[in-house]
């Protein structure tokens, strides 16, 4: 085990603070199409599916590169890798302002997505400065950089309406480059990298870093993150368009309301990390999935008009989610997701302390792919069904599947750790009852096992 598992290392505060600041800037760039994409859609006359592909393309790049960036961070240090990631993302974002055709926008969006890879770098970099009992809180603080999507939703509409979407891309690119340089000069290399330099130890080979990825548990964590992070990113990208289409809002108002979802989904991640350190990540995940299941169910119900044959004639009424109710439910959903994002990454340093970069990179990659796949799926569902709330119907099925898999996986783990649980009575009232004759023939030891379990 490395030194970071025992005590907080010197430079931890600067590493955490500047990494969070840098990740906020990266996330603001990564989700830039949530605002400028609405105007680009109008200018190019894109379909819903084409719009979904455009806003999701940066998420694809930022997801696919996370595994390799996580491995490189373990090998070469997060300070250098993050600097290069941010500068590359800034260059691509500036180049975006010169795109004119749809293929050119997609190509530029691939480059913009590099900024999203900073998450895998930050997780591996920050966690090396903190002991296990503090990693949940530290990574929760770092993950609060998701609030960058709210920064874009607040600021980008005003800049876009005043100067055009091209200015948004250029301003965001310059800011990202400057923050990258500030991050590099105000932080220090992580303790593992410093130790390897002093001892002459070579970093682990890439194939050794990737060895834990064959475990099913890692992929289960990835499914969790596909929902809590992937769906968060997807909705952060989709909500402005959804609000304009469903409630007829202008882009500035839609951006403000969408931020009501993004902000709790980001800032409360800090509380999620703290809560995971205190009551355990598993309980936090149950809270996340349970609340999310309820919220997505409520948001799934489409606006519907009914006509009932009453005694005195037809009775007409309509059931629809008001803008106020939608905002409140979206806020609660964002809050639940924020807890889950922190809880998922609380597991990784505990289960895989020597492979944080590769495992965190894979989990982050799968989660990020959710941010790419889901907006496209939302657009396709809109085109196929013509129902706006179909996006929440999909999320309801997704969180239901994740909750089911998690619950049964935990049950199997508990039964394997404590086989005597299988001998407990089906109901508490059955405790102490004599087994039937048939049961005694097939299971002679039942009575002593029941007493032992009590």
What domains does the chain contain, in order, with CATH numbers?
A: 9-200+213-420 (1.20.1250.20)
Q: What angle do CA 396, 402, 404 make, to 5 degrees?
A: 100
Half-sphere exposure of 361 toward its Cβ, with a 13 Å CA cutoff? 28
Q: Which helix (H) or strand (E) holds 250?
A: none
What confidence score (pLDDT) does residue 448 get? 44
Cβ 221 vs Cβ 346: under 8 Å = no
Long-range contacts of residues 203-212, Cβ cutoff 8 Å, at least 24 apart: 203/74, 203/75, 203/76, 204/74, 204/75, 206/71, 206/75, 209/71, 209/74, 209/75, 209/355, 209/357, 209/358, 210/67, 210/71, 210/358, 211/355, 212/352, 212/355, 212/358, 212/359
What confidence score (pLDDT) does residue 67 get? 79
How many residues in the chain?
454
Cβ 169 vs Cβ 90: under 8 Å = no
- The parts of the chain modelled with pLDDT lower than 50 are 1-5, 206-208, 439-454
Both tokens of 293, joined, read 């299941």
The whole-angstrom distance between residue 443's C-alpha and the CA centroid of its chain comes to: 48
What confidence score (pLDDT) does residue 128 get? 84
What confidence score (pLDDT) does residue 436 get? 54
Long-range contacts of residues 200-203, Cβ cutoff 8 Å, at least 24 apart: 203/74, 203/75, 203/76
Q: Residue 452: exposed, middle, or buried by beta-carbon count in 10 A (0-12, 13-18, 19+)?
A: exposed
Q: What is the DSSP letter of 302?
A: P
Name the pTM for this structure.
Answer: 0.67
What confidence score (pLDDT) does residue 146 get? 78
What confidence score (pLDDT) does residue 412 get? 81
What confidence score (pLDDT) does residue 446 get? 46
Q: What angle do CA 426, 432, 434 make, to 5 degrees?
A: 90
CA gap 56, 369 in Å, rounded: 9
Give the dihedral sign, CA 285/335/59/116: negative
CA gap 187, 196 in Å, rounded: 18
Crossing angle between the packed helical segments 323-351 and 118-127, to the nearest 10 degrees: 50
The whole-angstrom distance between residue 236's C-alpha and the CA centroid of its chain comes to: 11
In 228-319, beta strands by DSSP E = 304-310, 313-319
Both tokens of 292, joined, read 């999310």
Cβ 141 vs Cβ 16: under 8 Å = yes
CA gap 84, 127 in Å, rounded: 20
């Amino acid at each position: 085990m490395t030194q970071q598992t025992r005590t907080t290392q010197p430079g931890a505060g600067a590493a955490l603070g500047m990494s969070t600041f840098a990740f906020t800037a990266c996330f603001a760039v990564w989700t830039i199409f949530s605002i400028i994409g609405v105007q680009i859609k109008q200018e190019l006359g894109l379909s819903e599916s084409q719009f979904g592909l455009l806003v999701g393309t940066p998420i694809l790049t930022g997801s696919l590169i996370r595994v390799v960036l996580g491995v490189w961070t373990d090998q070469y240090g997060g300070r250098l890798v993050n600097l290069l990631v941010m500068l590359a993302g800034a260059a691509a974002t500036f180049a975006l302002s010169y795109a004119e055709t749809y293929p050119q926008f997609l190509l530029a969006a691939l480059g913009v997505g590099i900024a999203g890879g900073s998450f895998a770098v930050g997780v591996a970099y920050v966690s090396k400065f903190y002991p296990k009992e503090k990693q949940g809180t530290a990574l929760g603080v770092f993950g609060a950089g998701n609030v960058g999507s709210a920064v874009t939703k607040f600021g980008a509409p005003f800049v876009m309406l005043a100067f055009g979407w091209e200015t948004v891309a250029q301003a965001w690119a310059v800011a990202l480059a400057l923050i990258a340089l500030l991050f590099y000069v105000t932080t220090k290399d992580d303790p593992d990298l410093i130790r390897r330099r002093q001892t002459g130890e070579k970093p682990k080979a890439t194939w050794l870093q990737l060895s834990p990825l064959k475990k099913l548990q890692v992929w289960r964590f990835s499914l969790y993150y596909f929902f809590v992070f992937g769906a968060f990113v997807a909705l952060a990208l989709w909500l402005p368009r959804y609000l304009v289409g469903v409630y007829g809002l202008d882009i500035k108002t839609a951006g403000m309301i969408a931020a009501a979802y993004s902000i709790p989904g980001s800032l409360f991640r800090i509380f999620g990390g703290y809560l995971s350190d205190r009551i355990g990540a598993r309980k936090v995940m149950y809270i996340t999935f349970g609340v999310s299941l309820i919220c997505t169910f409520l948001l799934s119900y489409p606006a519907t008009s009914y006509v009932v044959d009453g005694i005195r004639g037809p009775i007409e009424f309509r059931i629809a989610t008001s803008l106020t109710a939608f905002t409140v439910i979206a806020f609660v959903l964002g809050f639940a997701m924020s807890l889950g994002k922190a809880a998922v990454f609380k597991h990784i340093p505990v289960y895989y302390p020597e492979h944080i970069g590769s495992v965190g990179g894979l989990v982050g990659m799968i989660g990020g792919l959710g941010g790419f796949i889901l907006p496209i799926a939302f657009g396709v569902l809109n085109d196929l069904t013509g129902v706006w709330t179909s996006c929440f119907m999909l999320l309801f099925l997704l969180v239901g599947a994740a909750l089911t898999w998690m619950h049964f996986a935990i049950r199997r783990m508990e039964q394997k750790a404590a086989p005597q649980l299988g001998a407990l009575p089906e109901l508490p009232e059955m405790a102490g009852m004599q087994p039937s004759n048939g049961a005694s023939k097939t299971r002679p030891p039942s009575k002593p096992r029941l007493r032992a379990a009590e």
